[in-house]
Amino acid sequence: MESKRKCDPELGRKVNDYLIGLGLETPMTGVRKDFDAEEAIAAIKGNMTNIMEALGLDLKDDSLQDTPKRVAQMFVNEIFWGLDYDRFPKCTKIENKMNYKGSFVLERNINVQSYCEHHFIVIDGVASVAYLPDKYVLGLSKLNRIVQFFSKRPQVQERLTEQIRAAIAFVAETEDVAVQIDGAHFCVKSRGIQDLRSTTATFSASGVFSEGSQRQEFLAGCRSLMG
Ligand SMILES: [Zn+2]
């Protein structure tokens, strides 16, 4: 989880409103407004205990006894903290005084560790993100941090891709954004169809990336990486 120093709750709330306006926000109830991490951990711990007991596991065993608490803390603090807009990354941007406008900025090979919201099982992926600076240039690691924030939720890859694109457009104040994600879904590997090698590719683009040469250049840039 991000340290509070690197977070911008106010920007987070604006991004939240923006995504709601676009119909791209993760479905959440009003409970989230009064979110209390300790309360959530206690509730999840109790329910995880029920799940393990229903499976017939002996929670008195020293190897199992701390699992409900461990899972609850993991959900809230480690793998689903991206539901909490207080944790939205601080996004330093500078004026585009260098007038960088000729070509886009492309950040590739960004790690995506997310969780399928249908099964709560790992999605392991790689993202490429591009934007064409207008008035502002974003610090490069901010692209990675925005990808990470929206990954740390129960997700479907299609929504994840759209949320990242919309958030970068909002933060960088440019319509010209493209996002491509290639993800391996462990719910497809380990259960259901049990296909070990298939991956899912998603792509979202707006502004100059919607069609034409910039779109082709972006997709070629992504392909050159994956080989
Ligand atoms: Zn799934």
Please state, in angstroms and rounded to a whole number, the distance separating the CA atoms of residues 176 and 200: 24
Q: Is 222 an active-site residue?
A: no
Are 127 and 214 in a shared domain?
Answer: yes
**Least confident stretch, 17-26, 113-122, 126-135, 190-199:** 190-199
Please state, in angstroms and rounded to a whole number, the distance separating the CA atoms of residues 123 and 120: 9
Are 124 and 218 in a shared domain?
Answer: yes
Which of these, 220, 105, 108, 86, lies nearest to 172 by C-alpha position? Answer: 105
Which among 25, 65, 113, 187 is annotated as catalytic? 187
User: What is the average pLDDT across 69-80?
Assistant: 97
How far apart are the CA of 135 and the centre of ligand 1, in A?
A: 40
User: What is the average pLDDT across 203-222?
Assistant: 93
Counting Cβ atoms within 10 Å, is residue 150 exposed (0-12), middle (13-18) or buried (19+)? buried
Q: Does residue 226 carry a pLDDT above 60? A: no
Are 39 and 10 in a shared domain?
Answer: yes
Q: Is 118 an active-site residue?
A: yes
Are 218 and 189 in a shared domain?
Answer: yes
Which among 157, 163, 180, 214 is annotated as catalytic? 157
Please state, in angstroms and rounded to a whole number, the distance separating the CA atoms of residues 195 and 197: 6
Assigned token pair, 98: 């260098």
CA distances from 223 to 6, 113, 125, 165 (A): 32, 20, 14, 19
Cα–chain-centroid distance for residue 75? 15
Q: Is 7 an active-site residue?
A: no
How far apart are the CA of 120 and the centre of ligand 1, in A?
A: 7
Mean pLDDT rounded to a whole number for the chain: 93
Tell me what pLDDT residue 95 has: 92
Are 128 and 28 in a shared domain?
Answer: no
Which among 7, 91, 116, 222 is annotated as catalytic? 116
Q: Does residue 23 carry a pLDDT above 90? A: yes
Which of these, 165, 148, 171, 9, lies nearest to 84 by C-alpha position? Answer: 9
Counting Cβ atoms within 10 Å, is residue 200 exposed (0-12), middle (13-18) or buried (19+)? middle
Are 104 and 178 in a shared domain?
Answer: yes
Please state, in angstroms and rounded to a whole number, the distance separating the CA atoms of residues 44 and 29: 16
Are 151 and 168 in a shared domain?
Answer: yes
Are 118 and 174 in a shared domain?
Answer: yes
Q: Is 117 an active-site residue?
A: yes
**Domain boundary at 86, 116, 136, which?**
86
Q: Is 187 an active-site residue?
A: yes
How far apart are the CA of 138 and the centre of ligand 1, in A?
A: 33
How far apart are the CA of 133 and the centre of ligand 1, in A?
A: 35
Domain count along the chain: 2
How far apart are the CA of 97 and the centre of ligand 1, in A?
A: 45
What are the two backbone dihedrals, phi and then psi, of residue 49, each rounded to the nearest 5 degrees?
Answer: -60, -45
Q: Is 157 an active-site residue?
A: yes
Cα–chain-centroid distance for residue 158? 11
Residue 182 belongs to a domain with what CATH number? Answer: 3.30.1130.10
**Domain boundary at 86, 106, 128, which?**
86
How far apart are the CA of 189 and the centre of ligand 1, in A?
A: 10
Are 121 and 192 in a shared domain?
Answer: yes
Q: Is 2 an active-site residue?
A: no
Please state, in angstroms and rounded to a whole number, the distance separating the CA atoms of residues 47 and 120: 15
Find all residues with CB under 8 Å of 48, minimum gap 6, and list them.
67, 68, 71, 72
Q: Does residue 146 carry a pLDDT above 60? A: yes
Domain of 14 in residue numbering reads as 4-86
* Ramachandran assignment for 129, one of left (phi > 0), alpha (psi -120 to 50 degrees), beta (any other): beta
How far apart are the CA of 160 and the centre of ligand 1, in A?
A: 14
pLDDT digits (tens, 9 = 90+) for 27-49: 998 767 778 899 999 999 999 99
Are 67 and 34 in a shared domain?
Answer: yes
What are the two backbone dihedrals, phi and then psi, of residue 36, each rounded to the nearest 5 degrees?
Answer: -125, 115
